């Protein structure tokens, strides 16, 4: 196993930091993915204007939360 | 592409060398899917059950027992196929970069949707590729941010003494 050198220099980042960072990264990725796919699917079911904004925002938050949770677990099982 | 700086070695995901990565990814994906599916199904089963604490708890357990292993299994299929293609591409191209991940994400999506027809394959491939591109992009941004925050770069431990060099080690310098 290579020695994991985290973003905090020599000190090994502890488990909670890694999980937190995984969640944040997953949340960001999920928000971006939700923005794309959410816009697509909301346009397809015929949302326009203000309704579209709400729909896309909801999809973004949902997929961000889901992704973040899974990424956090993925980080957690590896430390 | 541009010459990568040595700080790129500080990859957040220190990944296994290649043949073992398949096993590692498959099992990691199964665990991740099973735990994550357990969490989400617990909530879902709780909310979908009839009123009463015992009913709700039993519904939650039933939902976890039926759905979490399924989700873990589909995660494992995705992860295993993904890293099989990834490793094949590492072997074929002789280097390891984000394009490997993106392409293998797209190919995994296409292969797993193969039984649903070509249209579904294209859609699923696009989804896989975009998702993996986002993940790789986030990883690159994170690495850049982390190395800009500590301009001297991380202090690596003594090279060679604690770090056994795997036979696939020379791919790592491209990452």
**A1: nearest CA in chain B?**
B16
Q: Across the interface, which of A3, A29, A69 has its CB nearest the CB of B138?
A: A29
Residue B151 binned pLDDT confidence (cut-offs 50, 70, 90): low
The CA distance from A79 to B162, in Å, is: 18
The complex's ipTM? 0.74
Can you read off the two tokens belonging to residue B141? Answer: 């941004």
List pLDDT tens digits, range A26-56. 999 999 999 998 998 888 888 888 888 888 9
Q: Where are the domains of chain A?
A: 28-77
Pick from B70, B42, B71, B72: nearest CA to B58? B42
3-state SS, residue A24: helix
Residue B128 binned pLDDT confidence (cut-offs 50, 70, 90): very high
The whole-angstrom distance between residue B144's C-alpha and the CA centroid of its chain comes to 20
Is the predicted pLDDT of residue B38 greater than 60, yes or no? yes
Is 0.80 surpassed by the pTM of this model? no
The CA distance from B112 to B123, in Å, is: 11
The CA distance from B29 to B41, in Å, is: 17
**Which pLDDT score is estimated for A12?**
63
Chain A residues touching residue B36 (CB < 8 angstroms): 69-70, 73
Chain A residues touching residue B28 (CB < 8 angstroms): 74, 77-78
Whether residues B142 and A7 touch (CB distance < 8 A) is answered with: yes
Can you read off the two tokens belonging to residue B135? Answer: 């993940």
**B17: nearest CA in chain A?**
A1
Q: Across the interface, which of B130, B146, B163 has its CB nearest the CB of A3?
A: B163
List pLDDT tens digits, range B82-127. 999 999 998 898 888 889 899 999 999 999 999 999 999 999 999 9
Rounded to a whole number of angstroms, the distance from the CA of A27 to the nearest CA of chain B is 10
The CA distance from B102 to B52, in Å, is: 47
Q: Where are the domains of chain B?
A: 14-94, 97-150
């Amino acid at each position: 196993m290579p020695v994991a050198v985290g973003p905090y220099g020599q000190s090994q980042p502890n488990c909670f930091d890694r999980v937190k960072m995984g969640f944040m990264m997953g949340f960001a990725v999920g928000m971006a993915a939700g923005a794309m796919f959410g816009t697509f699917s909301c346009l397809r079911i015929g949302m326009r204007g203000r309704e579209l904004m709400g729909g896309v925002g909801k999809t973004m938050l949902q997929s961000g939360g889901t992704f973040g949770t899974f990424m956090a677990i993925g980080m957690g099982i590896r430390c | 592409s541009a010459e990568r700086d040595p700080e790129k070695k500080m990859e957040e995901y220190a990944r296994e060398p290649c043949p073992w990565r398949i096993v590692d990814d498959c099992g990691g994906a199964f665990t991740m899917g099973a735990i994550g599916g357990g969490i989400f199904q617990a909530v879902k089963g709780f909310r979908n059950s009839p009123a009463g604490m015992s009913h709700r708890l039993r519904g939650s357990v039933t939902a976890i027992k039926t759905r979490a292993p399924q989700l873990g299994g589909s995660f494992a299929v995705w992860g295993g196929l993904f890293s099989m293609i990834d490793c094949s591409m590492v072997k074929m191209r002789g280097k390891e970069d984000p394009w490997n991940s993106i392409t293998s994400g797209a190919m995994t999506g296409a292969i797993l949707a193969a039984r649903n027809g070509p249209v579904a394959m294209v859609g699923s491939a696009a989804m896989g590729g975009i998702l993996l591109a986002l993940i790789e992009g986030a990883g690159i941004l994170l690495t850049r941010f982390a190395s800009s925050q500590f301009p001297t770069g991380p202090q690596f431990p003594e090279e060679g003494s604690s770090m056994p060099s795997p036979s696939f080690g020379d791919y790592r310098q491209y990452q």
